Amino acid sequence: MQRTRYPERRRTTRLSLQIPLTVRCRLPEGETIDLKASTYIVSAHGALVLMDTPLIPGQTVKVFNEHTANSVDCVVTSLREKRERRFVGIAFVNPNIDFWHVVFPKSGTRQAIRSAVTGALVPPGFRQENTPQF
């Protein structure tokens, strides 16, 4: 098994997935507004969202999934701009939910491969006796 130099710090894997969202936030004046956004990367604990309006790290927002009409409370964790695009990091207040309707493997797990001999799924690095050695 190959070891990496730095251990994986993420709790689950991240997936590149574009889902249209509505982000409801409160302005400093007290007014509530809805902003259109879409996900760039999702995880079981939040997402990296593309949106036009900047938010403030630490700000609480409600995110609505346009596909499922489900909503979840989130906290803004980061804000950065890259090549004229604004990325907003959000984290779920309650991370034990299935907001994206995706099964996320634990971080650091490696994908199984198919055996050339039997066609069954085998763990990575599994050596088969009938495989020619070079």
Q: How far apart are alpha carbons 59 and 34 in whole angstroms? A: 14
Q: How is the chain split among helix, strand and coil, in percent rounded to 5?
A: 0, 45, 55
- Tens of pLDDT, residue by residue over 17-46, are 899 999 999 988 889 999 999 999 998 899
Query: Span 83-105, mean pLDDT?
Result: 85
Q: Which amino acid is at 118?
A: T
Instruction: Quote the tokens at residue 52.
Output: 């036009």
Q: Strands, E, within the chain: which ranges?
A: 15-16, 20-26, 32-43, 46-51, 60-65, 71-82, 85-92, 113-114, 121-122
Q: What are the residue boundaries of the structural domains of the chain, listed by start?
A: 15-92
- The band of 1, judged by pLDDT with boundaries at 50, 70 and 90, is very low
- Domain 15-92 fold is Thrombin, subunit H (2.40.10)
